[in-house]
Amino acid sequence: MKASFEHDVLIIGSGAAGLAVALNLPPTLKIAVLSKAQLASGSTRYAQGGIAAVLDATDSIESHIQDTLVAGAGLCHDDAVRFTCENGRESIEWLIRQGVQFTENDGSAVQQDAHHYHLTQEGGHSHRRIIHAADATGLEVSRTLCQQAAQAPNIEIFENRVAVDLITHKKLYLPGNRCVGAYVLNRETSHVELFRARFTVIATGGASKAYLYTTNPDGASGDGIAMAWRAGCRVANMEFNQFHPTCLYHPLAKSFLITEAVRGEGGHLLLPNGKRFMHKFDPREELAPRDIVARAIDHEMKRLGADCLYLDISHKPAEFVKSHFPTIYEQCLEYGIDITRQPIPVVPAAHYTCGGVITDHRSRSDVGQLYVAGEAAFTGLHGANRMASNSLLECLVYGRAAAQDISRQMRDVPPPPQIEEWDESQVTDSDEDVVISHNWDELRRFMWDYVGIVRTNKRLQRAKHRVDVLHQEIMDFYSNYKVTNDLLELRNLVTVADLIICSAIQRKESRGLHYTLDYPDQCAESTDTQLIPTNYSAQEW
């Protein structure tokens, strides 16, 4: 079986960001798209709410910018916010041209001009600007882009592939620090393959699986962030982990979030006694930004010793609920919860990684010919708290920007050098995989307990001590045994967990998603938390 491949562009990740890059590149380029499982298995398909963009005449780009800046609690980069918002409409129109069927004003899903689509409102937004496909927007976007990619003759899709590490000039003892491909584990054959490319794009999503409770799929293990860090890329603002306020609480439910749009369409958050409580925390009540709502729920749960709180939309007409939230209605009904008649039990859960690999407006990282797009990237858009439905927008805007930049540079970048294939002759199969499962469980539990919604210096120091011990254990294991999917994910998770903890220790204030009892106030001025790897060197593009 072939163990070596060469392409013009290697894209690691098959969600909205990765496929936006692939589908915006010239058809003359040979492109490889790697997916951890099936092509549509990433986080994109789980996005329920929609995509924020200025599409209505009563709305404005300046309003979208201002709302984003407010939600970001003073840490957003103005230029990144403006760049994203100004390119919002064009990105939506590109999706429509690809065939994405957004919900019409009359409830149908028919392709027309963007003016005719139904727009909803979510927390932090001052206008209705969320274009959506019922309550399964991500699924529709993923379905359409996967279909387009599968039909493109220049795009080669590799499923069940997990990247092990990036290959750079430094690792090959060549001048500069250009990325020339990656070693990739084929999960079906258990062998590591070599992928060489002129350009490499990381679009692997976030790192919410570092936490015990999360809305993310199993693949969200921070692979791209960890690989880029090991390759010499700086990361920023890893302490800002967004916890979605409303994840379904049920013993049989796994990672099922209840979209923000339920609150946007009038849903009420309730205590176990049926009383509303958000008015005590913010005048915007249920439409406050996610960090405020998550902390409020966390506070009330701890105050009452409650296992969960409730989100109630049952006061709305049953047909309204079923037509606006068909996926949630059907899913909850499977667990015996009729949301047209009763409230939904909810808890907060790790949802989105606001920090990531530092990139510019063209998605370029510190390493030459290495791009990072989507949740793995730090663009400066989200600041200290991502505003609802800006994430898919970021994937599209920066994915397309990466494709445009790669297209401009292609002529000037030589083919990758010859590279030795992966050598596993010095390692053996592990007979103690219990070490992996035990460390995986321990890592996610102490991250939840010590580096969660509310933090303290003592908790962070405990977490730092534990992660250092785990890191050494895992590296010893990695050095002596053949790589597996679980081992690679654990290796990456312990790296991103360490980055999160170190970033949180550095921030001596409470701001946005980072809330600490030792520093409850927000500093008058604040800057990004930058972490610099020991092998970092500024790269001239």
Mean pLDDT for all residues in the chain: 93
Percent of the chain at pLDDT above 90? Answer: 79
Sign of CA dihedral 280, 285, 289, 290: positive
Q: What is the pLDDT of residues 1-38, one digit of tens each?
A: 568 999 999 999 999 999 999 999 999 999 999 999 99
pLDDT at residue 112 in the model: 42
In the predicted model, is pLDDT for residue 326 greater than 90?
yes
Q: Which of 44, 27, 86, 31 is nearest to 371 (CA)?
A: 31
pLDDT band for 479, please (50, 70, 90 cuts).
confident
pLDDT band for 423, please (50, 70, 90 cuts).
confident
Percent of the chain at pLDDT above 70? Answer: 96
Can you list the domains of the chain with their CATH numbers? 4-239+354-412 (3.50.50.60), 244-349 (3.90.700.10), 434-520 (1.20.58.100)
pLDDT band for 234, please (50, 70, 90 cuts).
very high
Q: Is residue 392 within 8 Å of residue 350, measured between CB atoms?
A: no
pLDDT band for 54, please (50, 70, 90 cuts).
very high
Q: Which residues contact 112 (CB under 8 A, 6 or more apart)?
A: 104
Q: What is the pLDDT of residues 251-303, one digit of tens each?
A: 888 778 898 889 989 999 999 999 999 999 999 999 987 778 988 998 898 88
Tokens of 437: 């499962």
Q: What is the pLDDT of residues 63-77, one digit of tens each?
A: 999 999 999 999 999
Residues belonging to the active site: 290
User: Residue 522: how many CA atoms within 13 Å on its side-chain side?
Assistant: 13
pLDDT band for 42, please (50, 70, 90 cuts).
confident
| Mean pLDDT of the region 327-349 | 95
217-231, 277-291, 418-432, range with the lowest pLDDT: 418-432
Q: What is the pLDDT of residues 172-191, one digit of tens each?
A: 999 888 999 999 999 999 99
Full-model pTM: 0.90
pLDDT at residue 431 in the model: 65
Q: What is the pLDDT of residues 358-404, one digit of tens each?
A: 999 999 999 999 999 999 999 999 999 998 899 999 999 999 999 99
pLDDT at residue 114 in the model: 53
Instruction: Assign 3-class secondary structure to 53-113.
Output: CCCCCCCCHHHHHHHHHHHCCCCCCHHHHHHHHHCHHHHHHHHHHHCCCCCECCCCCCCCC
Distances (CA, A) of 340 to 120, 312, 325, 343: 20, 9, 10, 8
Q: How far is CA 225 from the centre of its chain?
A: 11
In the predicted model, is pLDDT for residue 110 greater than 70?
no
> In this predicted model, which residue has the larger pLDDT, 49 or 440?
440
| Mean pLDDT of the region 475-489 | 90
Q: Where are the beta strands (DSSP E) in 13-56?
A: 31-34, 51-52
Q: How far is CA 259 from the centre of its chain?
A: 16
In the predicted model, is pLDDT for residue 124 greater than 60?
yes
Q: Phi-psi region for residue 452, left (φ > 0), alpha (ψ -120 to 50) or beta? A: beta
Dihedral Cα 211, 506, 380, 213, nearest 10 deg: 10
pLDDT at residue 375 in the model: 97
In the predicted model, is pLDDT for residue 539 greater than 80?
no
> In this predicted model, which residue has the larger pLDDT, 49 or 163?
163
Three-class DSSP category at 531:
strand
Strands lying side by side in the sheet with 268-270: 241-248, 344-353, 309-312, 268-270
Residue 303 CB-density burial (10 A; 0-12 exposed, 13-18 middle, 19+ buried): exposed
Question: Of all helices (H) and strands (E), which one includes residue 155?
Answer: strand 155-158
| Mean pLDDT of the region 422-440 | 79
Q: Is residue 145 within 8 Å of residue 137, measured between CB atoms?
A: no
Q: Is residue 211 within 8 Å of residue 447, measured between CB atoms?
A: yes
Residue 343 DSSP code: P
| Mean pLDDT of the region 423-429 | 75
| Mean pLDDT of the region 106-118 | 58
pLDDT at residue 109 in the model: 45
**CA distance linking residue 98 with residue 314, whole number of Å:** 36
**CA distance linking residue 253 with residue 282, whole number of Å:** 30
